[in-house]
Structure 1
Amino acid sequence: MNTQPSVTATAEPLLLDAALPEFRFSRLECAVIAAAPDVVHGAARDLDMLSIHSPLFDAVMWARGVPDRVRRRPVVTPPPMRVSDLFDTDAGGDQGDPEAQPWVALGERAGREIVFGAVGKVWKPTIEWRRVEPGDYVGFDEPGWAKMAAAFVVHPYGARRSLLTYEARTACTDSDSTTRFGRYWMFVSPGVGVVLRGALRTIGKAAEAAGEQSPRGDEA
């Protein structure tokens, strides 16, 4: 007979749940990293999204330069897109131009979570962005748009490792945009997984290298 007292687990709400609690489309990838949670969180925060190399991501970046190549104009290399730029004051560039930076910070829990999001019509040949400030993101419901939110969440994993998850969610603001995004998502979802896993690999390498250099790198 089992005489052990019963234990009821209490789920801890995620910041992502507050930012986008209801969603239709999602993708989640995870990786175990040989570094402490605070080191992994720092590496995720420092991630330059343009440093992720995968066949899909490289193809997307190449395609963005096609119009300039056709017009024989020099292809402009985009500036770094660091996650930290969304959270650090005055680091995000021209906030009045949605094309400059449509992504906004939606929440951060030190050593644990980083949440950011954007609003756009990503199914168009040229994405149309709608700049929505962080305080207006949750309540934004103007028809015709897709609300996208993404999060890195770090969990302790044993004595010396961390489990890092990268989740992307999308909710659309009306049935027509849901249909449009749904068709787009069927095509791009596998590629989104490739990009998410590429980000996890990049973060893992940076975190493990930082852990090796730190005198406290073997401590969780």
Structure 2
Amino acid sequence: MSLLEQFLPNHQFSERHQAIVRCRPGELLDIIQTFQPPRDRTGDVAMFLRQLPAKIMHWTAPSRVPRPAPFTRANFTPLARDGDREMVGGLVGKFWRPDFGLLAVNGPSEFLASNPPKTAKLVIGFRAEPAGERTLLTTETRVYCPDRYSLLMFTPYWLAIRPVSGLLRRRMLNTISKIAEYRDGRPDAVRTT
């Protein structure tokens, strides 16, 4: 059973992207585990626009609305790694809110036990499978909405962010692929889907 299945077997939303990378699976997951995304104008603009409502709310009522914290990879709770095959991280929150409505989750068991009403759960996974001399790297995001309220709130948010999220995910895979192949000393063309 995959880690995605262990941590979020039921879900209403998912998105998957893949890249073929000239790198061994374990090394590729090591790169992802320590990956710090470089500055990316497209990603910066997308995140600025996503956080603009929270910033406007803070500017109009600073005493009532705290300054929004940046959303980064550090917001994800590392959940598990299965050797050289797969790793996953997760979030619990009200992602449709201007501030993301994130709940603190301290580890895998707390993530599994967390199922508050009107709140969604998200898992992002990376799977590395040998493909000849290369590795097929797959990233998949799954979201589970436990009740009607969270489903009604998340659905329009998903429809709005999914195209941009897919673009950013493909760009991230491309960057990870370039880093891996540069370290290996064999830069090749990278194919992502």
Give the TM-score of the pair, scaled to structure 2: 0.80
In 2, the alpha carbon distance for the partners of 1:203 and 1:42 equals 11
State the one-letter code of the partner of 1:121. Answer: K
Question: What's 2:45 paired with?
Answer: 59
**Unmatched 5+ stretches in structure 1:** 1-12, 83-100, 214-220
Structure showing greater Rg = 1
Question: What's 2:169 paired with?
Answer: 196
Question: What's 2:149 paired with?
Answer: 176
Structure 1 residue 17 and structure 2 residue 5: aligned? Answer: yes
In 2, the alpha carbon distance for the partners of 1:171 and 1:54 equals 30
In 1, the alpha carbon distance for the partners of 2:135 and 2:5 equals 21
Provide the secondary structure at the position in 2 that maps to 1:129.
coil
Question: What's 1:212 paired with?
Answer: 185
Question: What's 1:103 paired with?
Answer: 76
Instruction: Note the C-alpha offset of 1:126.
Output: 2.4
Equivalent residue pairs, number? 176
Question: What's 1:150 paired with?
Answer: 124
Tell me if structure 1 keeps the 8 A contact 2:46–2:164: no
Question: What's 2:33 paired with?
Answer: 45
Instruction: Note the C-alpha offset of 1:77.
Output: 10
Tell me if structure 2 keeps the 8 A contact 1:54–1:195: no
Provide the secondary structure at the position in 2 that maps to 1:190.
helix
In 1, the alpha carbon distance for the partners of 2:39 and 2:111 equals 27
Instruction: Note the C-alpha offset of 1:125.
Output: 2.1
State the one-letter code of the partner of 1:62. Answer: F
Q: Closer, same or farther in 2 for the Cα pair 1:38/1:146, shift >3 Å?
A: same
Higher helix share goes to which structure?
Answer: 2
Structure 1 residue 123 and structure 2 residue 109: aligned? Answer: no
Instruction: Note the C-alpha offset of 1:112.
Output: 1.6
In 1, the alpha carbon distance for the partners of 2:75 and 2:22 equals 33
Instruction: Note the C-alpha offset of 1:54.
Output: 5.8
Question: What's 1:31 paired with?
Answer: 19
Provide the secondary structure at the position in 2 that maps to 1:22.
coil
In 2, the alpha carbon distance for the partners of 1:163 and 1:105 equals 22
**CA RMSD, 1 decimal:** 2.7
Question: What's 1:187 paired with?
Answer: 160
State the one-letter code of the partner of 1:164. Answer: L
**Unmatched 5+ stretches in structure 2:** 61-67, 187-193
Q: Closer, same or farther in 2 for the Cα pair 1:132/1:78, shift >3 Å?
A: closer
Tell me if structure 1 keeps the 8 A contact 2:92–2:122: yes
Instruction: Note the C-alpha offset of 1:39.
Output: 2.1
Provide the secondary structure at the position in 1 that maps to 2:84.
coil
Sequence identity, in percent? 29
